[in-house]
Structure 1
Amino acid sequence: MIGSWMMAVSLLGLAGEDGARNTGGNSPVFVRTFEERKPFEGTSPTGPGIRVLAGEGRAGTAGLVIEREPASGSGSAMVSWSLPIEKLRGARVRVEAFARAEGVSPPPKSWNGIKVMLHVRGAGDEWPQAPIDAGSFGWSRVGFTATIPDDSKSADLALGLEQVTGRVVLDDVRISILSPRRTAATPAANATAAEARPGHGRLRGVMIGTKVDADDLTTLARSYGANHVRWQLLWDGFPNGPADTATAEEYDRWLGRELDRLARLLTVCRREGISVLIDVHTPPGGREQGTSVMKMFRKPEHQAHFLRVWDRIAGRFHDDPAVWGYDLVNEPVVGMIPDGVKTWPELALEAAKRIRAIDRGKAIIVEPTPWGSPEGLDDFEPLPGIDGVVYSVHMYQPHHFTHQGVYDNPGRVSYPGVIDGKPWDKAAIRRALEPARRFERDFHVPIYIGEFSVIRWAPGASGRDWLRDVIEVMEEYRWDWAYHAYREWDGWSFEHGPDRNDHTRSPSLTDRGALLKSYFERNPRQPRP
C-alpha cells in the first residue's frame, strides 16, 4: 500500500493563506461540498456512523461526519466514489479537502487512520493518500498530488476511518486535473542552466558535521581539494532534537552560538577558497515527534520566527565573500496545514524576498517537499520575481541500498542489481534524477545536489560504484554538489573503511575517498597566503 508509490506523491500547500483554493485553471473532476441534494449519489457508505449533518461543515454548512466508537475495535467506516478514469489516465491530479477531528485513536500502521485516499487499479493496485494526524485538531487543509498511471483501469476516492476510532468531519472535497506545468519560453530544451548560478566556477564539496574545526577545513581543502561546504545549522539531532520543545528564546540563543562559530571559521574558509552554503537544518519549532512534519507548518508564530531567522543570517553575512548562499530549510516536510499558515512555496517566497532586501547577490537555495526529493520538483515552480535562486534536491535512491543497516532497513544489498524488485544501475540513477533535469530544462534555473551518499558498509565495491555513477551524471549535467558527509556521523564517512564497528579513520585513502578526491581535484585552485 505504501513504498514506491508514496515516493511519487508530493505533499503540497493546497490553498492560499486565507484558505481560498489555489487551483487556477485546473479542471475539477469531482467536488463534494455536502450541500448537494444527494451527497451520497453514486456510492453506498460501508460501516455505521457515516452521515451528512447540517452545521458540521467548515462554514457552518453541512459536513460529512464519520464516527467509530471506542468499543468498535478493529475495522473501518468508509465511503467511496468511482471516478472517471478515462479523464484521469496519465494526468497529475490534486486531491484536497478540509478536515477536523475529535479523539481519533493512533493508527496501528502508518497507512491506517483518517483516510482521504485514491484507490487506483492497473497493472497493480496503488493507494496514494493524504497524511493526516490522529488525535484532535481544528479545520486543516489536507491533500496530495499524484500521477495516475497510463494503464489504470479504474480509480476510486475513499473517505473514512480505517482501523481507528474517533470522529472526523470532512468538507469541501475536490479532485482536480492539474493544468500543464508552465514552462520557460527560452532557452532550447537541451540547454544547461549551469551558467545561471550565482558565484563563480564549479562547486564540488561536502556537507560538514557540526563539530568541524579549522584543522578539519584546512585538511578538506588542502588534502582533498574540496572547494565547498554545506554548513549545517543543526541542533543536536536529526530529525528530532532540542528545538522540538525549545522556546523561541532558547532557539535564538542556540542559533547565536552557531552563527558566532560560523563567523570565526569563515576566516579559514576565505583563506582556503571554500565557498559556504548556510543551511538551516533545524528550523524554529523543530519537527513533530513520530511524523517529522516541521512545526512551522502548524503554527504561524513559528513561520514568523523562521522569517526573522533569515533576516538575522542575511544581515550578518551579506558582505562576507566566503558565503556563497543560503539554504532556506533542509528537507521540508509539510503534512497538514491549518488555516492561517503559509504553504511552503508561500513561506519560501516570503523568506527569499526578505533576504533579497538585505543581500542582492548570494544564492538562495530552495528544496521541494517532501524531504527534498527529486520527485518533489514535478509539483513545484520557480519562486516568482526572485533572481539568483538555485533549486536543490537530495539523492539517496534506492533507499534500501543507500540506508542498509540504518533504521530497520536490511543489510547486504548490492549495487548494481535488483533492489526492491527493480533493476538499479546508472540508467536508473539518471531516471531517478530526471525530475531535477526536467525542472532545469523547463525553467532554465540552476540545480544543486545538496546531499547524496550511501552507507560505508555497503557490500564490496557497491558504495563506490553507486557514488561514481551519481557523480558522473551530476558532472554530465554540470550540477554543483555536496557529498554527505565530512566528519559527521562516521556511517557516511569517506575516511572510514567498510567495517561498521571500526570507528577510527583509515590510515590510507579509501576507495570512496579516492573517488571523491579525483573530482575535488578538478576544482579551480585558489591562491593561498
Structure 2
Amino acid sequence: MLGTLAVAASLVLLGDSGPVFSRSFDEAKPLEGASASKDGARVEKGAGRSGTSALVVDRPASAGAGSTSVRWSLPVEKLRGTRVRVEAYVKADDVAKPPKSYNGVKVMLHLKGGAGDEWPQAPVDTGSFGWTRVGFTRAVPDDASSVDLTLGLEATTGRVAFDDVTLTILPPRRPAVASASASKPDPRHGPGRLRGVMIGTKVDADDLRDLARKYGANHVRWQLLWGGFPNGPADKATPAEYDRWLDGELDRLARLTPVCRQEGITVLIDVHTPPGGREQGTSVMGMFRKAEHQEHFLKVWEKIAKRFRDDPVVWGYDLVNEPVLGMLPDGLRNWPELALEAARRVRAIDQKKAIIVEPAPWGGPDGLDDFEPLPGIDGVVYSVHMYLPHKFTHQGVHGNPTGLSYPGVIEGKRWDKEDLRRALEPARRFERDYNVPIYIGEFSAIRWAPGSSARDYLRDVIDIMEEYGWDWAYHAYREWPGWSFEHTSNPDDPKPSPTLTDRGALLKSYFARNPRPAAP
C-alpha cells in the first residue's frame, strides 16, 4: 500500500506568472493536515541545506522496497494552459536502484485531463549524493481537472531529503529575435520536402538504390551508431578508440554519398553514439557526467563539419540522438548550453547546412516545452521523435505486453488520430511560437502489432506531418527487423516479405509525392 499524504498547499499568487507554490519546511506547520512519521515521511530540523528543516522520506532496507510520498493538490484553475517550472533541492543516502527507470526518488507532477493522466518528473539519481538542484518544465493542459505535486520514494528503499521546493508559472513564450546575419541559410535547401527513412548501420549502395528506385524515398537519416542501442561499447571506450570508430564510419559515409547524389537522396548525419556513450541501466549520456566527454563531443562536430561542409548531398547535422541528462554535476553544460556551443562551432566551419536539435529527454514532443531556440544561430531545425503511445508502438519490446490495437484503448485511454495530434501539439506549438521548422527524425510502430494496427498508426502520424508540412524519416530501413516495413507482421518470420507489406505500400504511397532527381 502506498503511503501517500494529501497536504493542503500554501500558495503565493503573483499575477499571471511567477511563484505559485513554495515550501522550505521551516514554516510553522510545514505538513499541516498530515501525519508523515508513521509512513517514514517527516520534517526534520537540521536536515536542510543550511542546517534548517527539510522533508525527509526514509525507507530502511529492512522495510523492503515500497513507496512513501507526500502530495500537494494545487489549484488547477490557476494552472490550466500555463507552463510551469518545478524545482527542488534533493539529498540522498543509499537509495536502492528501483525496478523501473521511472521509479525511485520522486519530484513529480500528476496531471489529469481529457487526454488522460500524465506524470512528468525530474531526473534524480539513485545511490548517495549531496544537495543537488533538480527540476523540469511542463505545459499544463487547458482541460486539466487536477494538478498534484508529489515528493518521495517509489518502489525502492533509502533516505531522501527535500528542501526549497517551488512551482512557478513561466511567462508566455515570445518569438525568437531574428538573427542579424545578412545571409540566413535555408534549412530546407534539399530537393523540396524530405520524406525518407532512418537507415541501418550496414546499409550499402544496393540498399540505397532500392530505397530510391523501389520505394521512392528521397532522404536518409544516417545514424552513426556504435555497438547497438541504447548501450554500446562507447561508454568504456578511450577517446582514441572512439575516434577510430568514428573515422571508419565517416569514411563509409563519404564512400556512399556519391550513390545518394545519383539517386536523389538527401543525407542528415546523426550522432547516435556520442563520446561517453550511455550508462548501463540508466541511458544517461556520459557527456552529461564528465567534462572530457563534452569537449570531445564538440571536437567531433568540428571534425564532421570540416569533412562534409562542401558535400551537397549532406542536408544537415543532427547534433545528438535522444539526449538523456540525468542529474548534472557542477561545471558541466546542460543540453541547451552544449547544443548551443556545438552549433556555434559548426557555424564557424559551415554556414550553410541545417543544424538539427532534439530536446531532452529522449527527443519526445513534450521536451520542447522545456526548450528555447538556440540564440544567434541561423538555420536550426528542431526535431522530435514520435512513438506515442509507447506501450503500443513498442509492444513486445523491453517487457511491454503485446496484443494492443490502434485505434483503441491503450493504458486505460482511447487513442485515435486526434490523440496523436494532441501528443504532437508541443512540437506544433513550438513551431508557431518561434516560427521555426520541425523535423520528425523517427517514428514507427512495431511490425507485429495486431491486424492493420501498425499501418493505421503510421497513416495517421504521416497524415498529421503532411498536414503541417513537416519533413520526416521513418524508423527504420534495413536495420532491426522489428521496425522493418519489408517484413510481415509475423514476429517469427526473420526474412523480408517477397511481396509489398501493407506498411511498405503505405510508405511508398507517400514517397511517391517526392520529386525525382534528374537523370545523371
Range class of TM-score, shorter chain: 0.7 to 0.9
Pairwise CA distance, 1:421: 3.5
Q: Could you say if the C-alpha distance between residues 150 and 356 of structure 1 is closer, same or farther in structure 2, counting changes exceeding 3 Å?
A: closer
1:32-431 to structure 2, matched below 5 A, reads 32-33=23-24, 36=26, 38=28, 40=30, 42=32, 44=34, 46-47=36-37, 48=40, 50-54=42-46, 57=49, 64-73=55-64, 78-79=69-70, 83-108=74-99, 110-118=101-109, 127-148=119-140, 156-183=148-175, 197-431=188-422
Q: Could you say if the C-alpha distance between residues 213 and 173 of structure 1 is closer, same or farther in structure 2, counting changes exceeding 3 Å?
A: same
Encode CA deviations 1:118-172: one digit per residue, 9 max, x unaligned.
Answer: 4567888765432322112244332222344566676554433445433334333
Preserved contact between residue 23 and residue 30 of structure 2 (Cα < 8 Å): no
Pairwise CA distance, 1:325: 0.4
SS at match of 1:206: strand
Q: Match of 1:97, as an amino acid?
A: A
Gaps of 5+ in 2: 2-15, 179-184
SS at match of 2:516: coil
SS at match of 2:331: coil
Q: Match of 1:494, as an amino acid?
A: F
Pairwise CA distance, 1:368: 1.5
Query: Distance in 2 between the 1:370 and 1:56 partners?
Result: 29
Query: Distance in 1 between the 2:76 and 2:469 partners?
Result: 40
Pairwise CA distance, 1:241: 1.2
Preserved contact between residue 297 and residue 303 of structure 1 (Cα < 8 Å): yes
Query: Distance in 2 between the 1:150 and 1:518 partners?
Result: 36
Preserved contact between residue 230 and residue 279 of structure 1 (Cα < 8 Å): yes
Preserved contact between residue 339 and residue 357 of structure 2 (Cα < 8 Å): yes
Q: Could you say if the C-alpha distance between residues 476 and 41 of structure 1 is closer, same or farther in structure 2, counting changes exceeding 3 Å?
A: closer
Q: Could you say if the C-alpha distance between residues 479 and 74 of structure 1 is closer, same or farther in structure 2, counting changes exceeding 3 Å?
A: closer
Query: Distance in 1 between the 2:481 and 2:28 partners?
Result: 61
Preserved contact between residue 196 and residue 445 of structure 1 (Cα < 8 Å): no
Query: Distance in 2 between the 1:384 and 1:299 partners?
Result: 25
Preserved contact between residue 20 and residue 169 of structure 2 (Cα < 8 Å): yes
Query: Distance in 2 between the 1:253 and 1:155 partners?
Result: 50
Preserved contact between residue 46 and residue 78 of structure 1 (Cα < 8 Å): no
Preserved contact between residue 138 and residue 338 of structure 1 (Cα < 8 Å): no
What is the percent sequence identity of the aligned residues? 70
SS at match of 1:142: strand
Query: Distance in 1 between the 2:335 and 2:87 partners?
Result: 16
Aligned position for 1:16:
none
Q: Could you say if the C-alpha distance between residues 97 and 503 of structure 1 is closer, same or farther in structure 2, counting changes exceeding 3 Å?
A: same
Pairwise CA distance, 1:482: 1.0
Query: Distance in 1 between the 2:466 and 2:265 partners?
Result: 19
Aligned position for 2:498:
507
Query: Distance in 1 between the 2:422 and 2:213 partners?
Result: 35
Query: Distance in 1 between the 2:66 and 2:201 partners?
Result: 47
Gaps of 5+ in 1: 2-24, 187-193
Aligned pair partner of 1:491 in 479, 482, 507: 482
Query: Distance in 1 between the 2:455 and 2:72 partners?
Result: 49
Query: Distance in 2 between the 1:284 and 1:435 partners?
Result: 29
Of 152-161 and 425-434, deviating more is 152-161
Pairwise CA distance, 1:196: 5.9
Q: Could you say if the C-alpha distance between residues 154 and 394 of structure 1 is closer, same or farther in structure 2, counting changes exceeding 3 Å?
A: closer
Pairwise CA distance, 1:348: 1.1
Query: Distance in 1 between the 2:224 and 2:425 partners?
Result: 29
Q: Match of 1:422, as an amino acid?
A: K
Query: Distance in 2 between the 1:300 and 1:139 partners?
Result: 20
SS at match of 2:241: helix
Pairwise CA distance, 1:63: 5.2
Q: Match of 2:123, as an amino acid?
A: P
Aligned position for 1:190:
none
Q: Match of 1:263, as an amino acid?
A: A
Query: Distance in 1 between the 2:463 and 2:76 partners?
Result: 40
Q: Could you say if the C-alpha distance between residues 165 and 507 of structure 1 is closer, same or farther in structure 2, counting changes exceeding 3 Å?
A: closer
Preserved contact between residue 45 and residue 78 of structure 1 (Cα < 8 Å): no
Query: Distance in 1 between the 2:327 and 2:106 partners?
Result: 13
Pairwise CA distance, 1:286: 1.4
1:429-508 to structure 2, matched below 5 A, reads 429-508=420-499
SS at match of 2:253: helix
Query: Distance in 1 between the 2:27 and 2:501 partners?
Result: 70
Aligned position for 2:22:
31
Preserved contact between residue 190 and residue 266 of structure 2 (Cα < 8 Å): no
Query: Distance in 1 between the 2:22 and 2:268 partners?
Result: 44
Q: Could you say if the C-alpha distance between residues 416 and 149 of structure 1 is closer, same or farther in structure 2, counting changes exceeding 3 Å?
A: closer
Pairwise CA distance, 1:310: 0.8
Query: Distance in 1 between the 2:426 and 2:147 partners?
Result: 25
Q: Match of 2:449, as an amino acid?
A: A
Of 447-456 and 500-509, deviating more is 500-509
CA RMSD, Structure 1 to Structure 2 (Å): 3.0
Q: Could you say if the C-alpha distance between residues 60 and 268 of structure 1 is closer, same or farther in structure 2, counting changes exceeding 3 Å?
A: farther
Query: Distance in 1 between the 2:145 and 2:159 partners?
Result: 33
Query: Distance in 1 between the 2:292 and 2:303 partners?
Result: 17
Q: Match of 2:223, as an amino acid?
A: Q
SS at match of 2:461: helix
Encode CA deviations 1:306-350: one digit per residue, 9 max, x unaligned.
Answer: 111111111111111111100011112223222222221111111
Q: Match of 1:465, as an amino acid?
A: D
